[in-house]
Amino acid sequence: MSGSADGTVPRLRRVVGRALVRSCARRPAVLPDDFPPTVSFTFDDFPASAVDAAGPILRDAGMAATWYAASGLLGQPSAVGEIASPDQVARLHADGHEIGDHTCRHLDARAVAAEDYGRDIDENRRVLADLLPGHAVRSFSYPFGGVTLGAKRAAMARAATCRSTMAGIARGSVDLALLPANPLYEDAAWLAAAQDVIGRLAARRGWAIFYTHDVTPTPSPWGCSPASFAALVAAIGRAGLRVATVGAVVDEIAPASA
């Protein structure tokens, strides 16, 4: 088959791969028609800045978030700033936030074998179990948004929910192994899109998940400023939407009938 020179074959493989991930190895559940419009804030491989800046904003608003930890990065420098320390993770947990799983070494599922991916998830869970005695890690997010069918199966075997970076609002029938989520980045277009999600959620109900990384006045391309984060929190309050962790929401969702 020809087409490699112009990128046709790799592009076709990506399209087929995404279709398989969406359609196979699903964990179906149903959001009832009267499900209250709900927002979940999530943070991936979160740096210390997110804990220090977003944490107080959420606390003052009476909200809790889901924080996906990659234990192999804790306390280390990264492209989004120094990653949170083990003590900060423990403090978040003590303050009522949910701590989720983001693999130990922040692996891209597209670059490793599914078996290695699963082992890395297991290692992350062992570290988090030592750090947070008695805490059962139930929520997972795919680093880099990278998902393969093998990685999806590995993750869903270990977690109640697996969050993607595929934008959207969950309504009706949902796949708990590939939950949609919307970026909260500082770029004006992304911020406008986040506000649009809030408007659509208020109008039609459903469950909207947001994700970001650093929260600092000069954020990375994958983070946002404290002012932008506070503005979205305020918009959610004005719209009368509730905020809950991913784990709390999934406890309310009925499994789909086989």
- What per-residue confidence (pLDDT) applies to 2? 39
Q: Answer whether residue 172 is part of any domain.
A: yes
**Residue 168 burial by Cβ neighbours in a 10 Å radius (0-12, 13-18, 19+):** middle
Predicted structure pTM score: 0.93
At residue 111, the pLDDT reads: 97
**pLDDT level of residue 11 (50, 70, 90 thresholds):** low
In a domain, 19, yes or no: no
- In the chain, the number of structural domains is 1
In a domain, 12, yes or no: no
Indicate whether 24 belongs to any domain.
no
Examine residue 234 and state whether it is found in any structural domain, yes or no: yes
Residue that is written with structure tokens 């990653």 in the block = 83
**Rounded Cα distance, 177 and 183, in Å:** 18
Task: Find residue 163's DSSP bridge partners.
Answer: 141, 179
Counting Cβ atoms within 10 Å, is residue 15 exposed (0-12), middle (13-18) or buried (19+)?
A: exposed
Phi, psi of 41 (to 5 degrees): -90, 135
**Predicted pLDDT of residue 1:** 37
For residue 41, is it within any domain? yes
What average pLDDT does the chain have? Answer: 93
Within-domain flag for 11? no
- Please tell me the predicted confidence (pLDDT) of residue 210: 98
Least confidently predicted of 9-18, 49-58, 68-77, 122-131: 9-18
* pLDDT band, very low/low/confident/very high, at 116 (cuts 50, 70, 90): very high
Contact 160/176 with Cβ under 8 angstroms?
yes
pLDDT surpasses 70 at 13:
no
Average pLDDT (192-207) is 96
Q: Are 120 and 70 in contact (CB under 8 A)?
A: no
Give, for 174, the enclosing helix (H) or strand (E).
Answer: strand 173-175
Range of the domain at 175: 36-255
Q: Which CATH number belongs to the domain containing residue 178 in this structure?
A: 3.20.20.370
Would 7 be classed as within a structural domain?
Answer: no
**What is the structure's pLDDT at 9?**
45
* Residue 4, pLDDT score: 52
